Amino acid sequence: MLRLNVFLSLIVLVRAQSRLVQKAKLMQDGLDTSVDPCEDFFTFATKNYDKEFKRNRRKELLKTVLNEANVLIPSLRMVKNVYTNCGLQKPSANEFDLTMKAKRAVEQFHFAFPVTEADVTDDAEYMRKLARMYKMAFEYGSELVGMIQGSIEGQNLTIFLPPDIMSPDEKASVWKAYCAEKGCDHTQIDFNDFSNLLGSYAPFQMTPEYDKFLETMFGHKIRSPGVLFGVPETASF
């Protein structure tokens, strides 16, 4: 019986170690050593994972690996040490609150609203700015984006800014310039009313935290109970 118990204990130990080795391989395969781990630990640790896997398992995997990283597996120990050492310096960009992330995004991309006539008359410039806006939202507003996962999976992610962002004259000027390029009749556009979009794009409820994030990112107070989503397929990141 003693031999059987020892044997079973060894099996359990081997299986446990095998699972850790598998986790270690996953972690090792996901590492991107070109990223500064103290700047963005989660990108450093998981960038090379499959996107679907990363979205579903990243938090769980990191928690498990970091908790079990005291075992003698070099890759696990290395990631644990990197995380611990970086934690003594400054928080990871992905650990900032939403307002800090928004400030960081604005500083990095030098981008702010409202749009100008030049933004809509030059297609290339318009799409460049649009893509940068989406990139900011994806990289720094993950909590916000996570609330509308269904919209992301359907490739719908455009923020329609509420009417109070620009004055009526400013909005009329922008629409006039846009229609001059696109051949539409700007007098037929009711830019104060987005209600016709509600049938296709459902708003989701904003919280004070998300309101603050958008205000910081776009440089304007956004007073709206919800934000509508939808994106041109030509936008690239």
Q: Which of 68, 90, 95, 69 is nearest to 80 (CA)?
A: 69
**Cis ω before 163 (30° cut-off from 0):** no
Of 227 and 199, which is predicted with more confidence? Answer: 227
Work out the mean pLDDT of the chain and round it to a whole number. 54
At residue 55, φ and ψ (nearest 5 deg) are -65, -40
What pLDDT is stored for residue 122 in this prediction? 62
Closest CA to 43 of 56, 26, 30, 57: 30
227: pLDDT strictly greater than 50: no
For residue 185, the model assigns a pLDDT of: 72
pLDDT range class, residue 80, cuts 50, 70, 90: low
Tell me the whole-structure pTM to 2 decimals: 0.24
* 11-36 tens-digit pLDDT: 344 444 555 555 556 556 666 667 66
Burial 187-221 (b: 16+ CB within 10 A, else e): eeeeeeebeeeeeebebeebeeebbbbbebbbebe
93 pLDDT above the threshold of 60: no
Sequence-distant (6+) residues with CB within 8 A of 58 are 42, 46, 49
The predicted structure's pLDDT at residue 41: 63
Question: In the 3-class helix/strand/coil scheme, how is 166-231 assigned residue by residue?
Answer: CCHHHHHHHHHHHHHHHCCCHHHCCCCCCHHHCCCCCCEECCHHHHHHHHHHHCCCCCCCEECCCC
Q: Looking at 42-51, 179-188, 206-215, 221-230, which range is the least confident one?
A: 221-230
Q: What is the pLDDT of residue 14?
A: 41
User: Which of 18-32, 102-116, 143-157 bottoms out in mean pLDDT, i.e. has the lowest?
Assistant: 143-157
Q: Is the pLDDT of residue 84 over 60?
A: yes
For β-strands 226-227 and 204-205, DSSP reports them as antiparallel
233 token code pair: 């397929």
Does residue 208 have a pLDDT over 60? Answer: yes
Residues 6+ away with beta carbon under 8 Å from 210? 98, 143, 144, 147
How would residue 190 be classed by pLDDT, with cut points 50, 70 and 90? low
Lowest mean pLDDT, pick from 17-31, 50-64, 94-108, 221-235: 221-235
Which residue has better confidence, 193 or 190?
Answer: 190
What interhelical angle do 2-30 and 74-87 show, nearest 10? 60
Please give the Cα distance from 10 to 216 (Å, whole number): 56
